[in-house]
């Protein structure tokens, strides 16, 4: 039975490191095993392909010097290739196709998010208290998504972004005038961002910015829960206004986290 190939995906959009460097080194080991050390320096040139996630044409380039058919070269390379933990492998003529395993992608995304959360948690914990106070590093508290914690600000940003994702939209074009209504508190909080950054910088008191972001996160979460932006009964002007408020809130949360050295992960 022929195994159905998964559609190729551009996994440069996936958080975390690329598998290409690891695959490159393992291909070199396989080349050495199949044809000796003189072929070990051959560049595998693993790259994205329309026919798979990744592909290498190294066998095509080695076929003539070795006096072998390209497919035979490819199969000998694959026989010594140890990439089962990263990708499924198929030989197609002289090409070697690789379908990156979902398990590997998930692990890389998880590791990248964990690193971002840990880095940001430590940075915010250090900056969240006045310089004259005592800093308490509570690892459990840093990982939470609610309360006076870094994860709450990141989570609020992802919720704001989900408003656009659900509607198949992007936040960048959401620049319509914001009509102040029941969301007055959130809009007023957003408008204070520039002033708060100046005050925190002038006084060398970054905890002011941390407090501001936590307050903004709380208001944005309340706004998200009651946001009617995707409801059909909302008129177009109101909808555009709400989307604009979501967009500017998202940008402020991201900018604030960046100033604190606390990167916003692509996924949570």
> For 176-183, which contacts have Cβ atoms below 8 Å and span 24 or more sequence positions?
176/237, 176/240, 176/241, 176/243, 176/244, 177/241, 177/244, 178/241, 178/244, 178/245, 178/248, 179/237, 179/238, 179/241, 182/226, 183/223, 183/242, 183/245
CA distances in angstroms from 80 to 34, 43, 62, 74, 83, listed in the order given: 7, 16, 16, 10, 10
- Average pLDDT on 180-184 reads 69
**194 pLDDT more than 50:** yes
pLDDT number for residue 4? 47
Most confident region among 55-59, 162-166, 211-215, 226-230 by mean pLDDT: 55-59
Spelled out in words, what is the top-level CATH class assigned to the domain 11-100?
A: alpha beta
- Residues spanned by CATH 3.30.1360.70 within the chain? 11-100
Residue ranges, CATH 1.10.730.10, the chain: 114-259
Is the model more confident about 114 or about 225? Answer: 225
Contact in structure between 19 and 48 (CB atoms under 8 Å): no
Candidate CATH numbers 1.10.730.10, 3.50.50.60, 1.20.1600.10, 3.30.930.10; the one for domain 114-259? 1.10.730.10
Percent of the chain with pLDDT over 90: 28
Q: Kindly report, residue by residue over 227-262, the tens digit of the pLDDT.
A: 666 665 667 777 788 888 888 898 999 888 888 777
pTM exceeding the 0.85 threshold for the entire prediction: no
pLDDT score at 15: 45
Q: Provide the pLDDT for residue 149.
A: 56
Q: Please tell me the distance from the alpha carbon of residue 243 to that of residue 238, in angstroms, as a whole number.
A: 9
Q: Angle CA(219)–CA(171)–CA(245) in degrees, nearest 5?
A: 35
**pLDDT over 70 (residue 94):** yes
Q: Which residues fall within 8 angstroms of residue 216, CB to CB, at 6 or more apart?
A: 153, 156, 186, 189, 190, 193, 249, 252, 253, 256
Place 134 in a pLDDT band, splitting at 50, 70 and 90: low
pLDDT at 39: 86
In whole angstroms, what separates CA 90 from the centre of its chain? 28
User: Which residue's entry shows tokens 């440069």?
Assistant: 12
| CA dist., res. 92 & res. 90, Å (int) | 6
Q: Is the pLDDT of residue 11 over 50?
A: no
> Mind listing the pLDDT tens digit for each residue in 15-31?
456 899 999 999 999 99
């Amino acid at each position: 039975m022929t195994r159905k190939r998964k559609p190729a995906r551009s996994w440069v959009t996936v958080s975390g490191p690329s598998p290409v460097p690891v695959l490159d080194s393992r291909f070199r080991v396989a080349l050495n095993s199949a044809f000796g050390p003189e072929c070990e320096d051959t560049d595998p040139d693993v790259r994205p392909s329309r026919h798979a996630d990744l592909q290498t044409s190294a066998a095509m380039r080695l076929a003539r010097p070795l006096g072998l058919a390209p497919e035979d070269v490819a199969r000998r390379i694959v026989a010594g290739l140890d990439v089962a933990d990263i990708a499924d492998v198929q030989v197609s003529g002289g090409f070697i196709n690789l379908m990156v395993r979902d398990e590997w992608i998930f692990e890389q995304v998880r590791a990248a998010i964990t690193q971002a959360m840990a880095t940001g948690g430590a940075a915010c914990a250090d900056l969240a208290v006045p310089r004259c106070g005592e800093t308490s590093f509570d690892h459990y508290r840093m990982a939470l998504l609610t309360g006076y914690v870094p994860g709450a600000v990141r989570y609020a940003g992802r919720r704001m972004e989900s408003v656009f994702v659900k509607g198949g939209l992007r936040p960048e074009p959401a620049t319509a005038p914001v009509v102040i209504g029941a969301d007055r508190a959130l809009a007023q909080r957003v408008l204070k961002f520039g002033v708060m950054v100046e005050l925190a910088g002038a006084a060398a008191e970054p905890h002011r910015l941390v407090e501001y972001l936590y307050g903004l996160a709380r208001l944005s979460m309340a706004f998200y829960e009651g946001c009617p932006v995707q409801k059909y009964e909302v008129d177009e002007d109101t909808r555009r206004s709400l989307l604009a408020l979501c967009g500017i809130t998202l940008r402020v949360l991201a900018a604030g986290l960046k100033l604190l050295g606390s990167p916003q992960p692509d996924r949570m």
